[in-house]
Structure 1
Amino acid sequence: MTTREGVLETVQPRRSTPSAVLPLAATAIIVVIVAAGSAYFALSGVQSLYGSYGLATALVVTLGSVAAWAPVIPAIRALARARRRSSLMRQDRIVEARHTAALGRESALTSMGYSAAVFLLACLVGFAVTNDGAIARTFLRGSFIAETWGDIAKAFWVNVQVSIGAETLVLVLGLAIAIMRMLPGRAGRPLRAIAILYTDTFRAIPGIIVLYLVGFGLSLAKVPVFKDLPPIWLAIFALTLTYGAYVAEVYRAGLESIHPSQWAAARSLGLSYTMTLRKVIVPQAVRRVIPPLLNDFIGLQKDTALIGVMGVIDAFTQSRLAASSVFNLSPVAVVAIIFVLVTIPQSRFVDRMVEKDQARRRAGSD
C-alpha cells in the first residue's frame, strides 16, 4: 500500500485472536449436569415402577445412568483444549491456538448436542412413568403385550396380503392413468379429461370413505362380480382406487421429466407413439420414480389399518377386540410396534435409493 509520503509499505497480515473456549466449555458442563439430573429423576421413576423385575430393571437403570454422563467426556476435552489454547496464546503461537480453539468449540458443541438428546429421552421416559406409571400401564403393559402379540401378528398377515395385492394393481392402474393423461392431440382429449377427473376425485376423497363406500356400497347395490367378492378383495380394490390416483401423478412426473429429444429421436427412427412409450420413455421414467413410488407404498401399507371399517379382521381390528376385553390399550400399541418394525427399514431403503439416484445424476452432470 502507499503512505501519504508515496512510499510503498508492506502490510502485515492481521493476526486475529482465536475465540475463547472456556465459556463454551463451562456451558457444556452445566448442560451435561442438567441432562444427567433429568435422566436420574426419570430412571428413578422407572426403578420405582418396575423394581419388581429385579436384576433386569437394575441393569437398565445402571446403564442408563452411565450413558447419561457420557457427554461429559467431550466437555472435559473442551476444557483441556481451552487451557491448551490459553497456553499457546501466552507463547504467541497464534496458528496453533486458533486450531486448538476450533477443536475445543467442536468438543463443547458435541457435548451439548448429546446432552440435549439425553434430556429429550429423559423427558420421554419421565412422561411414560409419570402419575405412578399410568401411561406405561395403559400403553405398555408387558403381560397384555405378551398375551396378545401372537394373535395380532397373525392378523397382520391380512394387512400384508392387502398391501401386496393393492400395490401390484396400483402399479398397473397408475401407469395407465398417467399415459391416458398424456395422450396427444384432439383424439386424446376425452381420455385426458377422464384421467384428470379420476386423479382429482380420488385424491380429494379420504381413503377411509372410499373403503366404506366400496365395502358396503357395492354389496348393497348388487354390482355383478363385486357383490360376491370377499371383503379382503374389496379392500384391495378400494385401496387401488385411492392410491392409483397418487401413483398416476408420480408416473406422470417421471414421464414428463424425460427430455423431449428422447421422443424426437425415437420417432425419427420410425417408432410409433406406443413403441416409443414402451421401449424408450417408460423404462427411463420408471427408474426415476422408484423412490417416490416406494414412499407411496409405505403410505398404502399403513392405510391397510383402515380396512377394519369393511369388516375385515386385520391387525388393528384384532387389537381393538383384545383391548376391549382387557380394558387396556397395550394390544393397540402392539400394532403400532409392528408397523414401526416393518416401515422404518423401508423408509431407510428409500432414503438410500434417493441418495444413490442423486449421486448418479451428479456424476452424469459432471
Structure 2
Amino acid sequence: MTLAKEEPDRGEPLAPGGQDPYVPSERRLARERYKRTRSRRAVAVAALSSLVTAAALVLVVVNAPGWSRTRETFFDAGYAREALPLVLDGLWLNVRLLLVCGAAVLVLGMLIAVARTLPGPVFFPLRALAAAYTDFFRGLPLIINLMIVVLGVPALRLQGVSVDPVLLGGTALTLTYSAYVAEVFRAGIESVHPSQRAAARSLGLTNRQALRHVVLPQAVRRQVPPLLNDLVSLQKDTGLVSIGGAVDAVRAADIIVGRSLNYTPYLVAGLLFIALTIPMTRLTDWVTARTDRRRAQGGLL
C-alpha cells in the first residue's frame, strides 16, 4: 500500500487555488526600504530648507529700516479686529457674485461655444457673431469693461434698467468670463474625434442629439480642470465690483482705510480672499491629477 506524500508544514494558510501565498523577495523588500528612506530624507530636506528660507526672509524684513513703520501701517492687530466683521460681511457679497456669475458664465459660455461649432453655411452669421463676441471681450480689459457697464449704463437713463452696481458689476464679469469659458468649451468640443459624431448619427441620432448626448459630455469632462481655473480667477475678480460702489470685502476695507489711514484692513481682505481661493485651487489640482491618471490609463475618452 502506497502512502500519500505529506506536504511540509509551512505555518501559513494556502492561497485560493491551493497555491502558496506570495512572499516578496529580499531584493524587493530592500528596494521598498530604500524608497521609504529616500522619501523620509526628501521630506526632511524640504522641511529644513523651507525653515531656513522662512527664517532668512523674516530676518531681512524685520531688519529693514522701515519695518517699524510698516508694521504699524499694515500689521496693526487693533485695526484688524475692527475690520474683520465688516470685511467678512462684504465677502459674503463676493461669494454670492461668484455663485450667480459662475452659473451664468457656464451657461452663456456653452451657448457661445456651441454656436461657434455649428456646421454648414446657413449658420455662418451665428458663428461670426460668436467669434466677434469672444474676440471683443477677451481683448477688452476687465477693468475697462466694468467701468463701461457700471458707469455707462446708468448714464443712458434707460427705463426699466437697473442701476444697481452689484447687478451691473456682475453683468460685466459675466460678459468677460463667458468669452474665456466659451473658448474652453470650444476646445473641448473640437477635441472630440469626428468618428464619435458619425457613430452617433449611424445609430439614428440627429445632429442635436449627437451633440447633446455624445459630444458635449465628453467635451465637458475633458475641460473640467481649465473650467475650474477660470472659476478661481472669477472668484478673485469679484472684488473689482467695488469700483462701482458695491460694498464688498474690498470696498469695506477701503472705507475703514479712508477713516483710519491704516492699511491693515486691506491685508485682512487679501487674506480672506486667499482663504477662499485655496480650497478651489486644491480642488482644481486634485481634479487635474485625477483626469491625467484616468487619461493615462485609457479610462477617459
Q: TM-score band, normalised by the shorter chain?
A: 0.7 to 0.9
Partner of 1:116: 49
Partners of 2:203 and 2:152 in 1: how far apart?
A: 50
Contact 1:159 1:301 in 2 (8 A): yes
Paired residue for 2:102, among 167, 191, 206? Answer: 167
Partners of 1:103 and 1:346 in 2: how far apart?
A: 31
- Select the structure with the greater relative contact order (CA < 8 A; seq sep ≥ 6): 2
Partner of 1:354: 288
Partner amino acid, structure 2, of 1:165: V
SS at match of 2:267: helix
Partner amino acid, structure 2, of 1:194: L
Residues 136-169 of structure 1: CA deviation (Å, up to 9, x unaligned): 3222211110111001100111111111111111
Partners of 1:281 and 1:117 in 2: how far apart?
A: 46
1:281 to 1:111, Cα distance in 2 relative to 1, 3 A: closer
Partner of 1:286: 220
Spell out the pairing of 1:1-366 with structure 2 (5 A cutoff). Answer: 113-130=46-63, 131=65, 132-226=67-161, 228-364=162-298
1:252 to 1:104, Cα distance in 2 relative to 1, 3 A: closer
Contact 1:170 1:243 in 2 (8 A): yes
Give the C-alpha shift of residue 315 in structure 1. 0.7
Contact 1:208 1:306 in 2 (8 A): yes
Q: Tell me how large the CA RMSD over aligned residues is.
A: 2.4
Partners of 2:144 and 2:266 in 1: how far apart?
A: 22
Partners of 1:134 and 1:215 in 2: how far apart?
A: 37
SS at match of 1:347: helix
Corresponding residue pairs, total = 266
1:342 to 1:107, Cα distance in 2 relative to 1, 3 A: closer
1:135 to 1:353, Cα distance in 2 relative to 1, 3 A: same
Partners of 1:353 and 1:248 in 2: how far apart?
A: 20
Residues 37-72 of structure 1: CA deviation (Å, up to 9, x unaligned): xxxxxxxxxxxxxxxxxxxxxxxxxxxxxxxxxxxx
Give the C-alpha shift of residue 365 in structure 1. 6.5
Give the C-alpha shift of residue 220 in structure 1. 0.9
Residues 61-99 of structure 1: CA deviation (Å, up to 9, x unaligned): xxxxxxxxxxxxxxxxxxxxxxxxxxxxxxxxxxxxxxx
Partners of 2:187 and 2:116 in 1: how far apart?
A: 11
1:212 to 1:106, Cα distance in 2 relative to 1, 3 A: closer
SS at match of 2:122: coil
Partners of 2:213 and 2:187 in 1: how far apart?
A: 18
Q: Name stretches of at least 5 consecutive residues in structure 1 with no aligned partner.
A: 1-101
Partners of 1:103 and 1:179 in 2: how far apart?
A: 50
Give the C-alpha shift of residue 222 in structure 1. 2.6
Partners of 1:307 and 1:232 in 2: how far apart?
A: 7
Q: Name stretches of at least 5 consecutive residues in structure 2 with no aligned partner.
A: 1-34
Contact 1:162 1:235 in 2 (8 A): no
SS at match of 1:364: coil
Percent identity (aligned): 40
Partners of 2:176 and 2:142 in 1: how far apart?
A: 6
Partners of 2:42 and 2:87 in 1: how far apart?
A: 45
Contact 2:153 2:163 in 1 (8 A): no
Give the C-alpha shift of residue 271 in structure 1. 1.5
Normalising by structure 1, what TM-score?
0.68
Which has the greater radius of gyration?
A: 1
Structure holding more helix per residue? 1
